[in-house]
Amino acid sequence: MTGYVDRDERLLRSAFCIIVLFMLAEAVGGLIANSLTLIADAAHMLLDASALGIAWFASRLSRRDANERMSYGYHRSQVLAALVNGLTLVFLIAWILFEAVSRLRAAEPMLPAPVLVIGILGLAINIVVYRMLHGSQNLNVRSAALHVLGDLLGSVAAIAAAVLVLLFDWVYADPLLAVGIAAILSRGAWRVLRESSHILLQGAPTGLSVEEIRTTLVARVTGLRDIHRVHVWSLTSDRLVLTLHGRIVDGTDQQTAMAHIKSVLRDSFGVDHSTIQLERDVCPDN
């Protein structure tokens, strides 16, 4: 298992470095060629680089133990990074849209040749990085690969803008395609902001029903009369935490009931970290 973890971490590190280097090259090329499409695609690659960086950081961080100051460990830091990434993207999207509207009102010349070259290089690099990450059994790596796959569209848009300017001298292709990339970025930024804010506010994980947990536990755990004060939240998108109070009938062994509850939570709901308080009479916290 350690070998697979090390391999996944190396893949994420390599992919992150490649994407960051090309993102910087693309941003510089966009400024030199006066191509808003390239600059917008560089912003799109920033989203992918952040996703790869967060995945790489999470892989490294998962090996660190909790301590007295950080009793849950350092897992939540990747959520903070995602929130900052989402807010940064909002400002980038606003700037891209502002520039696009300005160029649609008063078209500016673009140098299509460097845009075409950089777009083709970007397409090739994204294909290479995707092939590096594709096929991994690690969910963290697979989700990062999906971000890279989405960035292929940005490279295709840059190539299309360059070809349209080369063949038809249609300078409006650049700002129009930049608006398309901004729309794609908006969807990704909104998803990142929504998910990270939900986790930081300790909202219930998507797809996990407290009522279903309550019904399942009472039905499957022998001697469990009812459960109450159920709280379930996420440290990260894939690390669930749950606390609950349970009332058991007289004669029920507490340790057996607790072990059974934890087993059901783990096997049926994917909750590995749970804190359970069992009672026989009235809940002292009511």
Segment 140-195, tens digit of pLDDT: 566 566 667 667 777 888 888 889 888 888 888 888 888 887 887 788 778 888 88
- pLDDT digits 0-9 by tens, 234-255: 877 667 889 999 898 888 888 9
Question: What distance in Å separates the CA atoms of residue 16 and residue 12, rounded to the nearest whole number?
Answer: 6
As a whole number of angstroms, the distance between CA 185 and CA 46 comes to 10
Residue 105 burial by Cβ neighbours in a 10 Å radius (0-12, 13-18, 19+): exposed
CB count within 10 Å of CB 283 equals 12
Please give the angle made by the CA atoms of 119, 120 and 122, to the nearest 5 degrees: 65
Given pLDDT bands bounded at 50, 70 and 90, which one contains residue 29? confident
Query: Position of tokens 């999470």?
Result: 58
pLDDT bucket at 63, cuts 50 / 70 / 90: low
Residue 263 pLDDT class (50, 70, 90 cuts):
very high
CA–CA dist 217, 221 (Å, integer)? 6
Please state at what angle helix 36-61 crosses helix 112-133, rounded to 10 degrees: 20
